[in-house]
Amino acid sequence: MAGGRAGDVGQDLSVTQIVVATAIMRNGQVLAQQRAYPSADAGRWEFPGGRVEPGESEEAAVVRECREELGVEVEAGPSVGPDVPLRNGMVLRLYTATLVDDNAEPVAVEHSAVRWVGIEEFDDLPWLEADLAFLPDLRKLFG
C-alpha cells in the first residue's frame, strides 16, 4: 500500500517527537527541578522528563525519566494542559504523577536542585519559557 499514514513508523518522517514533562504532586505541591545546562537554560526550572524513546509509551517515559533524574518510582496519571511546541518540531506534554512511596525523597541526579513548589510560589520561579503554558491548568488542579 502507498505509504504516508501517520502509523507508518519508520517511513513517516513527520512523526512528532514528544517530550514528556511530569508534575509529581504531593500534599498540594508539585516537584520542580533546576536545569544545570545548557548555559542559556541553567538556573531555570522545569518538570522532570525528557524525550519519549521509539516504541515507548508516554507513561513509560514518565516513569523512566523520573527514575533516572530523581531516583524515585512514580505512577503516571492523566496528562494536563496544552501540547506546547518546542524547537525542532518537538512537542512538550505534561503528565500528572504520584510517588509510589509517598515518603520517598526525590534527589537531583542530573540537575542543580529539586524542590517542592506550592501554588502560591508558581509565579516566583523562573520557569523555562515553554512551561509557563502549564501553570494555569496546574493552578486549577490545586485550586
Ligand X SMILES: Nc1nc2c([nH]c(=O)n2[C@H]2C[C@H](O)[C@@H](COP(=O)(O)OP(=O)(O)OP(=O)(O)O)O2)c(=O)[nH]1
Q: Which one of residues 25, 47, 76, 114 is an interface residue with ligand X (CB under 6 A)?
A: 47
71: three-class secondary structure by DSSP: coil
Nearer to ligand X, 95 or 99 (CB): 95
Which residue matches cell numbers 524547537?
A: 87
Handedness of CA 105, 100, 18, 51 (dihedral sign): positive
Q: Which helix (H) or strand (E) holds 116?
A: strand 113-118
Q: How far is the CB of 102 from ligand X (least distance, A)?
A: 23
Q: How far is the CB of 120 from ligand X (least distance, A)?
A: 20
Binding of residue 122 to ligand X (CB under 6 A):
no
- Residues 67 and 100: their CA atoms lie apart, in Å, by 11
Binding of residue 46 to ligand X (CB under 6 A):
yes
Find the binding residues for ligand X in span 18-37 (CB under 6 A): 19, 21
Set of cell numbers at residue 134: 502549564
Find the binding residues for ligand X in span 62-101 (CB under 6 A): 86, 92
Quick one: which segment of 6-14, 42-50, 71-79, 112-120 binds ligand X (CB under 6 A)?
A: 42-50
Buried/exposed 29-62: b ≥16 CB within 10 Å, e otherwise? ebbbbbbeeeeeeeebbbbbbbebeeeeeebebb
Q: How far is the CB of 15 from ligand X (least distance, A)?
A: 16
Binding of residue 51 to ligand X (CB under 6 A):
yes
User: Contact residues for ligand X (CB under 6 A)?
Assistant: 19, 21, 46-47, 49-51, 86, 92, 128, 130-131
